[in-house]
Chains A and B, each alone.
Chain A
Amino acid sequence: MAECHPVAFQWVVEAKARGATVIHVDPRFTRTSALADLHVPTRAGGDIVFLGALINHVLSGGHEFTEYVRAYTNAADILPAEFTDAEDGGGLFSGYDPDTRTYDNSSWQPTGERDETLQHPRCVFQVLKRHFSRYTPDLVEQVCGIGPAEFGRVADAVVAASGREKTTAWVYAVGWTQHSTGVQHIRTASILQMLLGNMGRPGGGILALRGHANIQGATDVPTLFHLLGGYLPMPGPGEDMATYLARIPDGGFWGNKRKYLVSMLKAWFGDAATADNDFCFGYLPRISGDHGTYRTTLDMIDGKVKGFFLLGENPAVGSAGGRLQRLALANLDWLVVKDLTMIESASFWQDSPEVAGGELVTERIGTEVFLLPAAAHVEKDGSFTNTQRLLQWHAKALDPPGDARSDLAFMYDLGNRIRARLAGSDDPADRPVLDLTWDYPEEPGGDPSAEAVLAELNGYAADGSPLASSAQLADDGSTRCGSWIHAGCFAGGVNQTARRTPWQEQDHVALEWGWAWPANRRILYNRASADPDGRPWSEAKAYVWWDEQAREWTGLDVPDFEKAKPPDYLPPPGATGPAALSGRDPFIMQADGKAAIFVARGLQDGPLPAHFEAAESPLRNRVYRQDASPVSIQYAGRRQTRDQVAGHDATYPFVVTTYRLTEHHTAGGMSRTLSRLAELQPELFCEVSPELAAERGLENGGWATIITARAAIEARVLVTRRLRPVRIPGEGVIHQVGLPYHFGSEGLVTGDSVNDLLPLVLDPNVFIQESKVATCDIRPGRRPTGAARMQLVNSYRHRAGLADEEPQPGS
């Protein structure tokens, strides 16, 4: 956090000065460790064991926050007799199909009965206890290399800082998600936080430190294949509106799903969307499975994708499996790249490693490339959503240079040109484009007004006035709203995201700075900061509470609860949606209003977290028979990326893990081109321990070649005690090699691309790549150049029993 989010880390340092205990769990000793009370070095990928052992510590010691767990979680739910836990199924939950590598979750569905005493052997609480009973400090040592004494210090600190009077926060950078079990890492932390009563309360939670200005916004709005605005799913093949809506669980505020959908369709298709045509629901294209960016990469190599837009993105450096990324770009008909500077994803046909190695030949690459200059953040109006869901407006300060334009102006112009060409078409497939609302007011110079787009996200009431909240939405087509979670960001016709009341002039929650979705709430599910009767759990942690006199919820934040619903409200029989939730159910997006310790629906890899090794790991799984996640995604077919995974083969004896530097940004397009930053971090390096350096003859400041089953790269050697060997009883020592991944062939400072080393192994829930753990070998000296580079990779592949990398079509 001190390295990648330094300005946010000021709050951690401040908390420490006020008595907080700061613990840093990370394979590397970083500037965060230097300021922490305790640094716990660990083996990358052991997270579920570490967190699972904390859960076991809490449960076996009776440290859970019992009233919170009983009232606010699904711990009391009774599971059916057909449910088999992974502990009893040899690492597999019930419902596993080995042929498809998927789960059928029908046996995971709760019976509908609850045992408020939490004693029923099939209640979630007891199942959880048994599930994690083998996750002991001993296991932590065997998997993570963390000794029992060190683990004990963490466990004691977490328990001591939880309960009525205190809260513990878990803060992670998104490397935690970049594992084949990434979603379950977060799940394990959330189970721990639910047991300790640390959710929905100030100083609690699980806080993602996203790495980019608007990762959060791109997820919310969204530009992801499986979502529409506000986390509505994309429709599936053949679905009509009724079957689509029936598929979305309709508990809590999802009971309003039809209002959200219809209002979005009205925002998009305007007067063409009517009740008679299901508001143009049929205009939406249908997804069928995985259309994520990695699947799409392989589809490019297979020639299925012809045209590709890269808007401020550089997959040749920033995505896993760089060679496949570049082969994909080289097999397109046309490619549009829009960026501030020249990037590797635009110049791959000139200077990629594949061109240098002869695998690709410039004159035989048919990809037509358009490289368009982009506007910088100060050259356009717009909002970023920070990692706390806070939308903040950045105002245009000056015009972009030359032909540079915002992506807003680009998309608007492209849409106008396409619509002009299709005007008059009688092809039904063109109706959605022609009926699209695309009439934004223009600024001087012709760019569309970004505020007008934000106002569309916010939405309009039947009378045309901007919505004040999503509570105004209707499902009859009278309201329009681009994204229901954003309703209120333009309340009163005022750009709420541009509010900048100085922090000195308001309290610490700072509700008048920017605008957080939903409804400007700063902590989600904050009803849980009060007890079931609506009183704060303690004075020290008072945040939102029920005011009996005023008969409403009040507090420091916007209550995340229906304002006038009293704690003693009980839903009448037959109630649906929000009305079906009692006054004691804080988790209002869940059908039962309870935090889900056990997740019966929505996860592909099990209702509870279970530890699996990474697809590539020097260790076998100590917990279950399966080494790697039985449902992780490794693409099969003609592009056998599965063949690119070395498993546990000793040819690649070391762990390679990647990270970011303070002075660089992701694929480097926004940092390697700046002289100030390039000067501070001019060269790619690998961090190795003195022990590994001695074992492999690596010299500080010299060169090393790092080889995986995919690629060979070179880096300067940094011998440092910051990366300690992991000692595993019975296994000896496991070495980890640390590599920052910012470099490429363009910019002021260049270097090999570390992401070339990584396989395409994905989490099955979110299709995010496993980029924090792979296996490698490391040896002194520079890598070979030209064709010899791939020959080196293949010589290792032979030793590991993997087939040669064949030349790709299109080359």
Chain B
Amino acid sequence: MPQLPGWIANWPAYRQLTGRDRLGRGEAVRSPHTEAAAPRTQAADRVVSSICPYCAVGCGQRVYVASAGGRDAVTQIEGDPDSPVSRGRLCPKGAASKQLVTQPGRLTKVAYRRPYGTAWEQLSLDQAMDMIADRVIATRRDTWQEHHGGQRVARTLGIASLGGATLDNEENYLIKKLWTALGAIQIENQARI
């Protein structure tokens, strides 16, 4: 029997028809690529306990992180099988949450649009923070309301905040604490919506 060209001999359909794996669920469909493949979780340098950031079920997550060249990267996010809430399961959103972290669309720099501007400009984080702090102080002074209807209110209605419902408890706490001390009361959250 003449030797078959490699592409036929290695063709899974040929191997399935002529080999022992007639159902094509084992050796017939394995390739060098298959043999070399390993779960992304295997290469992780550490596994960190987390919670899914989407809905309020609060499924447990395990975050797999690999370090290379001094840079950390999330290699996979899996459901945490220990969780009594989720027992290891994740829905499509939770299962995609690695991409939430690694997606190319992530913002990494401050963008600035000046009044009446037509394009985004760049700004350093430090400069942006200074400008924001200046505006808070000025707006607060300009809109301060010590009394309303003859009664003391000690507040500003000139500054408002609306937070998403993926903010942590600790973040919400600092938001409420700082704004209340500054006298801003229109401090709201997706929880109202």
Interface residue ranges of A299-316 to B (CB < 8 Å): 299-300, 304-315
Does A379 contact B169, Cβ atoms closer than 8 Å? no
Q: How far is the CA of A118 from the CA of B86 in the complex (A)?
A: 44
* B173 CB, min distance to chain A CBs, angstroms: 5
A152-160, A410-418, A690-698 - interface stretch: A410-418
Between-chain CB contacts (< 8 Å), 20 pairs:
A8-B57, A215-B190, A220-B169, A221-B173, A268-B177, A304-B157, A341-B107, A342-B107, A349-B113, A367-B113, A370-B128, A372-B128, A377-B53, A384-B168, A391-B169, A393-B49, A398-B65, A406-B171, A429-B146, A453-B170
Q: How far is the CA of A637 from the CA of B135 in the complex (A)?
A: 29
Contacts of B148 on A, CB cut-off 8 Å? 237, 286, 288
**Interface presence of A663 (CB below 8 A):** yes
Does A309 contact B162, Cβ atoms closer than 8 Å? yes
**Interface presence of B13 (CB below 8 A):** no
**Interface presence of A562 (CB below 8 A):** no
A377/B155 contact (C-beta < 8 A), A215-B191, A768-B192 known: no
Does A450 contact B191, Cβ atoms closer than 8 Å? no
* A507 CB, min distance to chain B CBs, angstroms: 10
**Interface presence of A41 (CB below 8 A):** no
Does A7 contact B129, Cβ atoms closer than 8 Å? no
* Residue in chain A with minimal CB distance to B86: A7
**Interface presence of B26 (CB below 8 A):** no
Known A399-B72, A401-B108; 19 more pairs at CB < 8 Å: A10-B87, A212-B54, A213-B56, A215-B189, A216-B191, A282-B154, A285-B180, A286-B185, A304-B157, A307-B160, A312-B166, A313-B163, A315-B162, A376-B101, A392-B58, A407-B174, A436-B178, A450-B168, A680-B92
Does A384 contact B125, Cβ atoms closer than 8 Å? no
A184-192, A357-365, A646-654 - interface stretch: A357-365
B153: which of A286, A312, A436, A748 is its contact (CB, 8 Å)? A286
Does B186 contact A311, Cβ atoms closer than 8 Å? no
Contacts of B4 on A, CB cut-off 8 Å? none
Does B74 contact A407, Cβ atoms closer than 8 Å? no
* A720 CB, min distance to chain B CBs, angstroms: 20
**Interface presence of B136 (CB below 8 A):** yes
Q: How far is the CA of A318 from the CA of B193 in the complex (A)?
A: 8
Interface size class of B (residues with CB under 8 A): 35 or more
Q: How far is the CA of A363 from the CA of B117 in the complex (A)?
A: 6
- Interface membership of chain B positions 43-60, coded 1 if the CB is closer than 8 angstroms to chain A and 0 otherwise: 000101111111111111
* B124 CB, min distance to chain A CBs, angstroms: 8
A312: which of B59, B164, B185 is its contact (CB, 8 Å)? B164
Does A401 contact B178, Cβ atoms closer than 8 Å? no
**Interface presence of A206 (CB below 8 A):** no
A211: which of B49, B51, B55 is its contact (CB, 8 Å)? B55
A213: which of B53, B86, B111, B120 is its contact (CB, 8 Å)? B53
**Interface presence of B5 (CB below 8 A):** no
A332-340, A595-603, A701-709, A772-780 - interface stretch: A332-340
**Interface presence of B89 (CB below 8 A):** yes
A768: which of B161, B185, B193 is its contact (CB, 8 Å)? B193
A306: which of B87, B158, B180 is its contact (CB, 8 Å)? B158
Q: How far is the CA of A311 from the CA of B142 in the complex (A)?
A: 24
Contacts of B91 on A, CB cut-off 8 Å? 5-7, 662
A383: which of B81, B107, B108, B170 is its contact (CB, 8 Å)? B170
B182: which of A282, A432, A448 is its contact (CB, 8 Å)? A432
A386/B57 contact (C-beta < 8 A), A286-B152, A665-B93 known: yes
Interface residue ranges of B114-157 to A (CB < 8 Å): 114-116, 118, 120, 123, 125, 128-137, 139, 142-144, 146, 148-149, 151-157
Does A500 contact B161, Cβ atoms closer than 8 Å? no
* B93 CB, min distance to chain A CBs, angstroms: 6
* A18 CB, min distance to chain B CBs, angstroms: 16
Does B159 contact A308, Cβ atoms closer than 8 Å? yes
B85: which of A370, A386, A673 is its contact (CB, 8 Å)? A386
Does B163 contact A457, Cβ atoms closer than 8 Å? no
* A425 CB, min distance to chain B CBs, angstroms: 10
Across chains A and B, which 6 residue pairs bring their CB atoms closest together, nearest first?
Answer: A402-B108, A382-B168, A386-B58, A312-B164, A212-B165, A238-B151
* Residue in chain A with minimal CB distance to B119: A350
**Interface presence of A366 (CB below 8 A):** yes
Does B48 contact A224, Cβ atoms closer than 8 Å? no
Does B167 contact A223, Cβ atoms closer than 8 Å? yes
Does A7 contact B128, Cβ atoms closer than 8 Å? no
A674/B96 contact (C-beta < 8 A), A313-B163, A341-B105, A384-B169 known: yes
**Interface presence of A408 (CB below 8 A):** yes
**Interface presence of B83 (CB below 8 A):** yes
Q: How far is the CA of A282 from the CA of B180 in the complex (A)?
A: 12
Chain B residues with a Cβ under 8 A of chain A: 46, 48-61, 63, 65, 72-74, 77, 80-87, 89-94, 96-97, 99-101, 103, 105-116, 118, 120, 123, 125, 128-137, 139, 142-144, 146, 148-149, 151-178, 180-193
Interface size class of A (residues with CB under 8 A): 35 or more
**Interface presence of A74 (CB below 8 A):** no
Does B92 contact A675, Cβ atoms closer than 8 Å? no
A373: which of B56, B60, B106, B170 is its contact (CB, 8 Å)? B106
A418: which of B51, B94, B152, B182 is its contact (CB, 8 Å)? B182
Does B55 contact A4, Cβ atoms closer than 8 Å? yes
Does A218 contact B191, Cβ atoms closer than 8 Å? yes
Contacts of A579 on B, CB cut-off 8 Å? none
Does A213 contact B161, Cβ atoms closer than 8 Å? no
* Residue in chain A with minimal CB distance to B173: A221
Does A398 contact B73, Cβ atoms closer than 8 Å? yes
**Interface presence of A510 (CB below 8 A):** yes
* A152 CB, min distance to chain B CBs, angstroms: 33
Does A293 contact B192, Cβ atoms closer than 8 Å? yes
Contacts of B129 on A, CB cut-off 8 Å? 413-414, 417
A212: which of B55, B153, B162, B184 is its contact (CB, 8 Å)? B55
Q: How far is the CA of A414 from the CA of B131 in the complex (A)?
A: 10
Contacts of B115 on A, CB cut-off 8 Å? 333, 365-368
Does A483 contact B192, Cβ atoms closer than 8 Å? no
A662: which of B93, B120, B162 is its contact (CB, 8 Å)? B93
Q: How far is the CA of A382 from the CA of B48 in the complex (A)?
A: 13
Contacts of A220 on B, CB cut-off 8 Å? 169
Contacts of A380 on B, CB cut-off 8 Å? 168
Q: How far is the CA of A238 from the CA of B152 in the complex (A)?
A: 5
* Residue in chain A with minimal CB distance to B163: A311
Contacts of A448 on B, CB cut-off 8 Å? 174
* B52 CB, min distance to chain A CBs, angstroms: 7
Q: How far is the CA of A384 from the CA of B169 in the complex (A)?
A: 6
**Interface presence of A456 (CB below 8 A):** yes
* Residue in chain B with minimal CB distance to A362: B118
**Interface presence of A793 (CB below 8 A):** no
* A374 CB, min distance to chain B CBs, angstroms: 7
* Residue in chain A with minimal CB distance to B112: A370
Q: How far is the CA of A397 from the CA of B106 in the complex (A)?
A: 17
